[in-house]
Chains A and B, each alone.
Chain A
Amino acid sequence: MLILEFLAKRIAQGILIVVLTSLIIFTLLRVVPGDPVRLIVGGMAPDNVVEEVANKMGLRDPIIVQYAHYMAGLAHGDLGQSYIRPVSGGVAAGGQYVDPTKSEMAPVADLIVERLPLTLQLGGMALLFALIMSFPIGLAGGLHQHGWQNTLAFGVQSLFVSIPNFWLAIILILFLSVKLNLLPALGYKGFSYVLLPAFVLAVEISPFIIRTLTTSLGEVMQAPFIDEARVRGLSRRRIIYSHALRNAAVPLINLLGIQLSTLIGGVLVIEYIFDYPGLGNLTVVSVLGRDFPVIQGIAITTSAVFVFINILVDLVAYLIDPRVEI
């Protein structure tokens, strides 16, 4: 009952956040210099054609009217159509005139639905790798605050956080893929194509996990109830695994919720470098091609995913620690 009320409340809040987000992005895209119509019709088109297309697409209406139309479409799952991508795939050539009001342009919703699973797969693998890498290091570092384990955790974390992801990606492509031919790197033709980009992302996320785990576990180990568990007769193993880790897990889970945007940011660049056909790649290509409807659609999707995962994070945190306010 409590959980249902919580979900209802958070979903309502989440919708508000997504609406606000879409408004911010929508406004930003319309106030920045650069006329998208010019891009659609091509640089050579006469001014009257530009105006005609613009009016037909409603791009000369006040922003709030445009936004209302857009949100009305969104309610039906219609995110509009790409300016430059036809249904058949491939990007229309810049110079030639394509009428974007006709239906041969790809619907944004389809573009996103097609790529979202691939991105989720990449993100999930990256998280898994990151947890596998950072858990032992963070655990040891947290339990031995004054030992070499803590120094190791500190070192690994400082090193990993200082490696720019795109640079690491290039170096790994060069060595593992081009020189040693161990793993495929560019494009996507099967599961093995996920491994290398996921590893690079994992290196990017793991310092945060190591740091949080070391700090929060270190704090929990100082708590009176851990000390007292010893005199109550619990074994050290039991104290660590069923009490200390459980208490240290809440900050860690909250961190994952917050670091999600770092993860998404990383996905963007990594997909672009590895030419991995996910949402991130689509974002970069759309931004470079000024494909506004696609950018909007992606922003709304990521913000919805973000909201959803944060609801999940709070729910899990509550299930672990009932003191967490939900």
Chain B
Amino acid sequence: MTVDISLILEARDLTVGPPTGAANVLDGVSFKLHSSEIFGIYGESGAGKTVLSRALAHWLPEGLAYRGGSVFFAGRDILDRSAKTTWRIGRDVAYIGSKPQSSLDPTQPVGVQIAEKLRSVRPEWTTRDCHDRVIQLLTEVRIPSPKERYWEYPSKFSGGMMQRAMIVDAICAEPAVLIADNVTQPLDVTIAAQIVALLHDLCLRHKMATIYLSSSLATLGQFGGRTAVLHRGRLVEEQAFAELIRAPRSDYTSRAIASVPRIWSTSERPMSRRNTTDEPLMRIQDAHRSYRARKRGTFNTYRNILAVRGVSFDIMPRENFGIVGESGCGKSTLTRLLAWLEEPDHGQIVLGGVSLRTLTPQQLIEKRGEFQLILQDPYNALPPRTTVGRTIEESLRIRGGKGLRERVMAAMQEVGLPGRLYDELPNALSTGERQRISIARALILSPKLLILDETLSALDQGEQAKLIELFSALQDKNDLTYVFISHDLAMVRKVCTRIAVMYLGEMVEIADNHELFFDPQHPYTKALLSAAPTLEEKPFDPNDYLLEGEPPSPIDIPPGCSFASRCPKVFGRCRVETPRLREHKAGRFAACHLLDEMEDGRTVAA
């Protein structure tokens, strides 16, 4: 009998389920993991990824138990209590989860907690060594000023930084196996791309065998090694990643691959219904919005958080205008300004020729009928204890209507809600149905402009397609104009005619759909597109546009271009002078000195 000495972890027929019987969550999962190898496992949410990763670490959640099979670590079964294993949780097998922000005790400094863990699992190492090792690793994962960060509390870390710290926490004890469970899920695309690259690099450098579980095929593609597919608690197939994509063996995998959104290799091209001669429906003119936040622990020292900084654009009638950006870019604030939930500090918003600021409260209530916002979260956007009919009717009641059942029923029918739901409470309904209620109560006011705040991102692909169809039909029928606010590039690609990209409170680029995706001007747009989670060949090499670091805080915005701190193409002028949004080519606006210089160069040459 030969012993495979490079075999470090093996699951044999691993079966996990509730102790009382019922359906198993994991059903006969078997695979092998060799040292210094990265093994990817794909599974959509609910497939059993988290349970699998916990089962491998001997860390099942309450209510689940091992019901069969075994997990061998270096040849010994860690589930067998009678066998004497030197295996130790946290030392030999380490785990990184998808919720970095809640993984550590919020009341103690991050570095202290990592050192505490290290001392617990490696009692043979001295306190001094542990401390030094943590600092060294914090440096290695490129956390800026690691000595200071060692003493900072988890709440001071951003999601991306915290995930780096959790990587340090996992690898500090030199584990032989690392289990990474959907680690990029809560992060923005550009940050997620950094983390994946970092993890890849660390696994190779520290020679850790790594199991990377993810619900995104695109992310797994960045590792490209042996990849398995988990579906309803079973591994349905296992191949090298490129083979898996090229020739999937199971129907499930084919379907999963087909449902990955496409940005470039698609023939879809949303048609603009606008006329070039139209007057703009809504004009946003130099809108600023900042928030005052009390500086911690001071009496009356306030800091200004500059959330939206001088944004101007026009929304034309019957167009689908998209606004994209990552978290913290000011999208949400801009949404509140567009919906007039907050007034801009200065600048104004003009709707149909009337500045909203000049209206009396009564006129404003009337005017609100013309522009409506559909909120992002379908579960919390509806009043919890009000029936569907009453919720939709409220729009009219505010304006003094009564006996409106017919109109409500008509609106429900228009958005595809069955009339029997009239007396139901929303909490029993599906996400899609709830979104339709939100749409119906806006639509009943016959608005001209609908602002959709991440309206489609909570829905699965099928439901999303149905709603897009509904929006399109409503647009034809009612002459609607849409503003889509989203972080989801693929969705924007599918539905928007004109798209604006936001970064740190400013618009960095505005262009028509095709131009933006195939010939982006601004370096940030390129970086954003290169990090998009798709399986396609991208028109430009992602390695050229992998961003370093994180966006600066909106409190201390450095002078010059706000993107200068992360831009791969930064040069002297960017750090002193703020670029303005200019029309470089017909209908294409961008705010970048590089473009200005190129144009100037051309003018000089000519």
Contact = CB atoms under 8 A, between A and B. Distances in A.
In the complex they form, whether A and B have CB atoms below 8 Å apart is answered with: yes
A246 B88 contact: no
A7 B600 CA distance: 58
A69 interface: no
29 contacts: A5-B297, A9-B299, A223-B102, A225-B102, A225-B104, A225-B105, A227-B61, A228-B97, A228-B103, A230-B89, A231-B57, A231-B89, A232-B90, A232-B95, A232-B117, A233-B88, A233-B89, A233-B117, A233-B120, A234-B117, A235-B120, A246-B108, A247-B106, A247-B107, A321-B107, A322-B153, A322-B155, A325-B296, A326-B297
A316 B169 CA distance: 29
Interface string B95-120: 10101001111111000000011001
Contacts of A322: 107, 153, 155
A84 to B, nearest CB: 44
B121 interface: yes
B174 to A, nearest CB: 12
Contact of B297 (A6, A227, A229, A243): A6
A65 B174 CA distance: 76
B116 A234 contact: yes
Interface of A: 2-3, 5-6, 8-9, 223-225, 227-235, 238, 242-243, 246-247, 250, 320-323, 325-326
A233 B106 contact: no
A264 to B, nearest CB: 30
A227 B61 CA distance: 9
Nearest to B179: A231
Which A-B residue pairs are the 8 nearest by beta carbons? A233-B90, A2-B297, A233-B121, A224-B102, A321-B107, A231-B59, A231-B95, A243-B105
B145 interface: no
A309 B153 CA distance: 27
A326 B299 CA distance: 10
B299 A5 contact: yes
Nearest to A227: B61
B38 interface: no
| Main SS class of interface, A | helix
Contacts of A320: 107
Contacts, number: 73
Contacts of B153: 322-323
Interface of B: 54, 57, 59, 61, 88-91, 94-95, 97, 99, 102-108, 116-117, 120-121, 153, 155, 169, 173, 296-299
B297 A247 contact: no
Given A228-B103, A323-B153, 7 more contacts: A225-B103, A231-B54, A233-B117, A246-B105, A246-B108, A247-B105, A321-B107
Contacts of A227: 61
Contacts of B108: 243, 246
Nearest to A323: B155
A325 B297 CA distance: 8
A225 B162 CA distance: 13
Contacts of B155: 322-323
B89 A225 contact: no
A225 B108 CA distance: 12
A229 B104 CA distance: 8
A231 B91 CA distance: 9
Given A231-B89, A233-B88, A323-B153, A8 B106 contact: no
Contacts of B88: 233
Contacts of B61: 227
B151 to A, nearest CB: 11
A253 to B, nearest CB: 12
Contacts of B103: 224-225, 228
A5 B298 contact: yes
B64 to A, nearest CB: 13
A321 B109 CA distance: 10
B581 to A, nearest CB: 38
A231 B90 contact: yes
B481 to A, nearest CB: 42
B120 A238 contact: yes
Nearest to A320: B107
B194 to A, nearest CB: 23
A235 B89 CA distance: 10
Contacts of A8: 299
- Considering residues B99, B103, B104, B297, which has the most beta carbons from chain A within 10 angstroms of its beta carbon? B297
Contacts of A231: 54, 57, 59, 89-90, 95
Contacts of A326: 297
A283 to B, nearest CB: 35
A223 B296 CA distance: 26
Nearest to B91: A233
Nearest to B122: A233
| Most interface-central of B99, B103, B173 (chain A CB within 10 A) | B103
A225 B106 contact: yes
A9 B117 CA distance: 38
Nearest to A250: B107
